[in-house]
Structure 1
């Protein structure tokens, strides 16, 4: 026994030494009793809003938190993106902004996001507590305290920052690009963009996501698609002081809104409070008609934009000073070049970003906004670089400018730059708080917040683009800025003054309608449209068809540069062949339309007026012109000029879809164009409204009469041989597909389905009668086949699937979802 004990004693030092060696290789758990100074000794210090330290050797960030229980703004963003418009992860893309606070709980510090949407604006603490405890808060992170001194705590924030807060993983998954995960072994801090200032602290990380790519978009932009590396940015920002006064929201003024529920509101008043989003701007002398601002609004241009693009963007951005002058400010809105040492994600800078993608896409106007009040803290514009090339392409198609021995027409570049000026003004408008204003085009271009289609003129039989885009701020823009930014002198009744601004605007014939009213699918307003021109949508469609006809008649090799493959004519042809698509979307809303505004009781605006029958008949006749064979046929010499694509020039989505293999397919093109018109005309909501309006007023056009006219102007036209006849068959096929879809749509009312089914049954009888009498074998086959399709639909509507026309190449953004609510 004694021998065993001695052996154990001899072995003990070995065990202890071995254990100490093992401990030396592993990090020692931090003690909350150790001093902060000893923990951060030798680390790079970043003094500022929230002091922090960077351990370069371990690649760690330590936060020194001395602002426990104080709310601040936490913003996440994406600084180095993926480069695909379809994926939607762009350079310098803003993410969410959230009010948060650090709260100590034992050995932890929790980052808590309070619920700002539900409040009690009350002096009664118990009333506020009741609301706070009724709705959930969100704990965004839990930090372990490593050291503390005199009320200050030190936490390791490395894991907090090395997370995918922008949800790149979710975006790649939702766009079907693959299942990725964050690889921390390939992720690290990005010291060049880690900074600290008196009112904001900025952090940035490089993150690498690994996985099995499954989509073509990520393969097209990532050098190794299984390893996608981006950068994400974090900002901690001091919230604005309490001196900002929120301004009430009026749906007629053209602003985005911040809203919340105030449970301390008297029961006689609305519980939901709405305020406009706007920058803080004050006059040095509120009583002066024109005064300098206490602090002007300054926007900074990304120096990465090349000339002459940069100058065009700056020029367009400066238009807003016209609106602020109308609101009584002198030189209150400025545009400057971003300093070389400035970080575009720094909350102190309103920035106009120039962003590259592999394909064209939307531009955006976003903002960092105080969720409590609606005060805009940072304006952040994202402009896609390829959109200018789309406008240039449209100009090439309209002008056919490349003549042997003659200099290139400068009108194309001038048109493209004019569009960029308007684009810069539009997106900055969003960052000033303004929403889309889609009645502008019918009111003499009253706002840059509309979507502009290039305005074309016909001069001596030739297309003229000299006034393609407006060159100034609009009249309604001045109204909106005055409503949002006017600084009223002491003693002025602000509510009455604001209402007077709107009433004077209405008297001047200026109105406002936004996104939901302009969309063509189901839309019903005759004057609020996307990408349209003119006071009368139908008149403008007839004009656009004339312009399109001239352009197609002149189309040929002069539309591309010398020594360019002839096959590339197709790129230029697409936007011209579909040049009328947006005006069609405008005109179709007249059928079964309603004239209304965001009317308030007693303001005299239209509330819900049915449109005159003659206005709808005129629109229907114009729409049916777009599906006539003569409108959709291409000249024979043009068809002979477009060969299959040569090696090195692959087909892509900006080209037409076809069913003839490698060769250009003019019949599929005609079918697609016809489907554009018919699918809009036969949208279930539109058909349902025709039924309803006719029931209320027998003078309103009925669904039966509209369908009869559509069928008479397609199926019942005299059958023609050759190319014209083949185009007409394509048109008829597109109409049948949409009639079949409407007849079986769950969104169509019972009456709509019944009427459409009856018209299909009548068409079947006509086809069966007409077919045997037709000498042309192709037409006989077509009539017989279509009749059999109707029978299949009738016998088994649940299983019937029509062969729908091929999709058109991308249209919107025409020169670039909304669809961002704030895109263009």
Structure 2
């Protein structure tokens, strides 16, 4: 047995020796790349060999997509960054292992044994094992081909999660892309053309791939030198508008918090720390994708450069710069902060992401991805709201383009802001549009009965943006306490009336803050909704065939009408949030801010009065005289996901439009969490608005409202059935306070009694009684019947990625 074992070991050693000899003999024929890591490319076998000189030395590994799929719904875009990971090589037997240490749990201490105890307490990850091909005086050659040829970015799993099919990597149709495989002193870049084979099942992948069973993308791998230890972390404050970077320090004294929070930011230092105004040692330079066309190119450059205003305000000269990307530069190269112009088959989100040092939170690379079709949505909104723009000539597109370009300027600044380390501020619109980090809805006014577009979007950086830049990047002179200096910045912002509320408290479903809403306008959101409804009415009255160019199918006219019809959708969300809403801040002890309070009665009553207008057929029904503009779709221009959905087959369904719009309001107004908050706020202050009052006023203004016009009456009936369904939802919901169930059930009982009086002669009342009785008999079977889906709002929508 021992003889066989010795023979086996000998064969392994001989095999390793032969492979090593083969590499030494052949490497002169390989293409050598010299940089942060030296590596060799063997064209004959399409293999890459890495030269590892130092073990146990940490570096940064990042994977990304250098070419994507082109579908917003799948979400695999060109330039998309993956996770950054600190890694190092270590030797284990005849292998080098690539180790990812666990940086979430640490011990910041000089006690080596204490550090070791924390390191051993939590799992680390071995990302890959590489057989050693050659070893020479402590330098190792390893074959990293299989590591680079794996689906690091998770393309196949993403396709599966999006129900597009089951795909696997086909290595026979995959290869290294040498034009994007490069070596630099501080980073090496590997690019791989990867083909995934499978059976396509989803419409998204079929719509973008020439052969949906074979999907080819390019995955990119970067090995990057970590920054030196001179970067200084800055403490996170929930009031600052900066994004947090967290870890747990187990060496923390018991009396202190074990969770450590710092902000994410670029490294920035003055050349002359004593000067009031100084250039930076290394300015923050961003580069715009040189494939971006005009006039978008100029708009992105102008909007992005607004950030320099904020850096100048804290004493930096030209600290933020935006230039065109050199023609020979790769956008995925870590040396470049970039803004990429990304193409997709449909409109989609833009987002700002970054490569960050996981040890410190230092931003090493900002990467903005801007969806190229986004500009067309703003153009479409302007086209819908203009009064007969193509009545006299077909080239009258400048006013629409001007508004769309104004949005692109703001978008550039917004997404760059994320890559500078800043979070959304959805309360900024209540203080004079104080931040580009809010979501801006185009602002219009009525002047002499005409819609004025002059101030659709703000220009320049906002006052809040200057606060976030100051908190993140302000230098403090020798002897000045950084903690005191940072608190002064935030205290001044409070004194100036600036507010900061971010995503978790602004999303339409379930959130409650009365000032923080997405895509809203105005300090008084109820008044702004009134104004929007008036603008919407004027625009709909003006809407005609002259909102499209000569020779355009009428089907396109329907598409132009959609954003006009739903023009009020986001302001409605904001107003509905006030009912049962709260006023609060990210307060800390001693800062003097209001901690939390229930929204006052007058504000809630005004919000309820205003939002109920969006459930009035007089307000939201499409005028009868406009219906002749919308024939069945013409050949070649079918309905899309952005069309109004209906139940009438080929004909335009005006009643379904009303159903969709009213359901949108009711989802917010009768949200189960809001209903439970109304119970609590009434208990705390019996004079305030309660659920009983909300339901009474809702029923009075919908179900009990009579319309004399037959068309409007049918539209109101559609609304009323949606009201009934949402009241039933509250009556049977199992995640609300039981008082909610009780109050909603009582309203249903009252309605049933009311309808029963003339149900024999009134078919609608009979149907309502029938539905209430069915609910009473089997509430456990009840589900809200979905209304026709509202057309996509994105990118004038509800979220963005960063």
1:311 and 2:298 matched: yes
8 Å Cα contact 1:36/1:149 also seen in 2: no
Taking the aligned partners of 1:238 and 1:424, their CA distance within structure 2 comes to: 29
Shift of 1:35: 8.8
Residues 75, 96 of structure 1: 8 Å contact kept: yes
CA positional deviation for 1:410? 1.9
Change (3 A) 1:722 1:192: same
Where does residue 210 of structure 1 map in the other structure? 197
TM, length-normalised to structure 2: 0.97
Q: Tell me, which stretches of 5 or more residues in structure 2 are unaligned? A: 1-10
Report deviation, 1:741: 1.7
User: Aligned-pair distance for 1:721?
Assistant: 4.9
User: Are positions 1:422 and 2:416 aligned together?
Assistant: no
CA-CA distance at 1:637 after TM superposition: 2.4
2:488 aligned residue: 500
> For 1:458, which of 407, 428, 446 is the aligned residue?
446
Cα deviation for residue 289 of structure 1 reads 1.2
**Secondary structure of the structure 2 residue equivalent to 1:278:** coil
Is 1:798 the counterpart of 2:780? The answer is: yes
Query: Which structure has the larger Rg?
Result: 1
CA contact (8 A) 1:31 1:146 kept: no
Give the one of 271, 293, 300 matched to 2:287. Answer: 300
Matched residue, 2:59: 72
Task: Give the whole-Å Cα distance in 2 for the aligned partners of 1:305 and 1:265.
Answer: 49
Aligned to 2:616: 628
Aligned equivalent of 2:141: 154
**SS of residue paired to 1:147:** strand
* Corresponding residue SS for 1:492: coil
CA deviation map 1:9-55 (0-9, x unaligned): xxxxxxxxxxxxxx9xxx97664764964352210000110110000
Query: Partners in 2 of 1:749 and 1:785 — Cα distance?
Result: 29
Distance in 2 (alpha carbons) for counterparts of 1:146 and 1:81: 34
What is the Cα deviation at residue 746 of structure 1? 2.1
Alignment check: 8 A CA contact 1:118 1:135 kept: yes
CA distance in 1, matches of 2:612, 2:541: 21
**Cα distance, 1:818 vs structure 2:** 4.0
Secondary structure in 2 matching 1:663: coil
441, 445, 448: which one aligns with 2:429: 441
Q: Shift in Å at residue 632 of structure 1?
A: 1.5
Matched, 1:199 2:186: yes
Report the counterpart of residue 732 of structure 1 in structure 2: 720
Aligned with residue 182 of structure 1, among 162, 169, 173: 169
1:89 and 2:76 aligned:
yes
Question: How much does 1:67 deviate?
Answer: 2.0
The reply to whether residue 98 of structure 1 matches residue 80 of structure 2 is no
- 2:129 is equivalent to residue 142 of structure 1: yes
* Inter-partner Cα distance in structure 1 for 2:654 and 2:521: 28
Q: How far 1:405 sits from its partner (Å)?
A: 4.4
Return 518-527 or 426-435, whichever deviates more: 518-527
Decide whether the 8 Å contact of 1:253 with 1:483 is kept in 2.
yes
For 1:271, which of 258, 261, 277 is the aligned residue? Answer: 258
Instruction: Tell me the equivalent position of 1:708.
Output: 696
Q: Does residue 781 of structure 1 match 2:781?
A: no
Residue 644 of structure 2 aligns with which residue? 656
The question of 1:402 aligning with 2:384 is answered: no
TM-score of the aligned structures, taking structure 1 as reference length = 0.94
The Cα offsets for residues 613-665 of structure 1, whole Å up to 9 and x where unpaired, read as: 11100000000011101112222221011111111112110101000001100
**8 Å CA contact 1:737, 1:804 repeated in 2:** no
- How far apart, in 2, do the equivalents of 1:398 and 1:28 lie? 75
Structure 1 residue 169: Cα displacement: 0.4
Note if contact 2:38-2:50 (Cα within 8 Å) is conserved in structure 1: yes
Deviation at 1:804, TM superposition (A): 2.8
| Contact persistence 1:35–1:148 (CA under 8 A) | no
Name the residue aligned to 2:520.
Answer: 532
Tell me whether 560-569 or 652-661 shows the greater mean CA deviation.
Answer: 560-569
CA contact (8 A) 1:672 1:807 kept: yes
CA distance in 2, matches of 1:362, 1:115: 32
CA contact (8 A) 2:368 2:416 kept: yes
- Measure, in 2, the Cα distance between the counterparts of 1:643 and 1:435: 45
- Specify the SS of the correspondent of 2:780: coil
Partner of 2:3: none
Q: 1:180 to 1:409 in 2, by over 3 A?
A: closer
Deviations 1:238-268 (CA, angstroms, capped at 9, x unpaired): 0000000000001111011111000000001
Superposed, which structure 2 residues align to 1:35-74 within 5 Å? 37-74=24-61
Residue equivalent to 2:509? 521
SS in 2 for 1:334: strand
- Choose the corresponding residue for 1:591, options 579, 595, 604: 579
Cα separation, 2, equivalents of 1:116 and 1:332 = 31
For 2:133 and 2:768, the matched residues in 1 are separated by: 77
Shift of 1:747: 2.0
The answer to whether the 8 A contact 2:351-2:800 is kept is: no
Corresponding residue for 2:7?
none
Q: Secondary structure at the match of 1:41?
A: helix
Q: 1:30 to 1:681 in 2, by over 3 A?
A: farther
Per-residue deviation at 1:803?
2.7
Segments of 5+ residues of structure 1 without an aligned counterpart are 1-22, 775-779
CA contact (8 A) 2:381 2:560 kept: yes
Q: Distance in 2 between matches of 1:463 and 1:504?
A: 38
- Equivalent residue number for residue 117 of structure 2: 130
Matched position secondary structure for 1:626: helix
Contact 2:394 2:550 in 1 (8 A): no
Aligned counterparts of 1:174 and 1:767: Cα–Cα separation in 2: 47
Distance 1:804 1:736, change over 3 A: farther
Question: Take 1:453 and 1:561, find their aligned partners in 2: how far apart are those partners?
Answer: 26
- 2:586 and 2:22 map into 1 onto residues whose CA distance is 62
* Counterpart Cα distance in 1 of 2:592 and 2:338: 40
Paired residues of 1:143 and 1:155 also in contact (CA < 8 A): yes
Q: Distance in 2 between matches of 1:707 and 1:797?
A: 20
1:235 is matched with which residue? 222
**Secondary structure at the residue paired with 2:151?**
coil
List aligned pairs for 1:538-577, cutoff 5 A. 538-577=526-565
Residues 577-618 of structure 1: CA distance to partner in whole angstroms, max 9, x if unpaired?
A: 000000011011110111000001111111111111111000
Contact 1:39 1:147 in 2 (8 A): no
1:285-434 equivalence runs, <5 A: 285-399=272-386, 400-405=388-393, 408-434=396-422
Distance 1:443 1:33 in 2: 69
Q: Secondary structure in 1 aligned to 2:396?
A: coil
> Residue 158 of structure 2 aligns to a residue in which SS?
helix
Partner of 1:6: none
Q: For residues 416 and 253 of structure 1, what CA distance do their matches in structure 2 show?
A: 31
CA deviations over 1:40-76 (Å, ceiling 9, x no partner): 2210000110110000111000000112100000000
Count of matched residue positions in the alignment of Structure 1 and Structure 2: 789
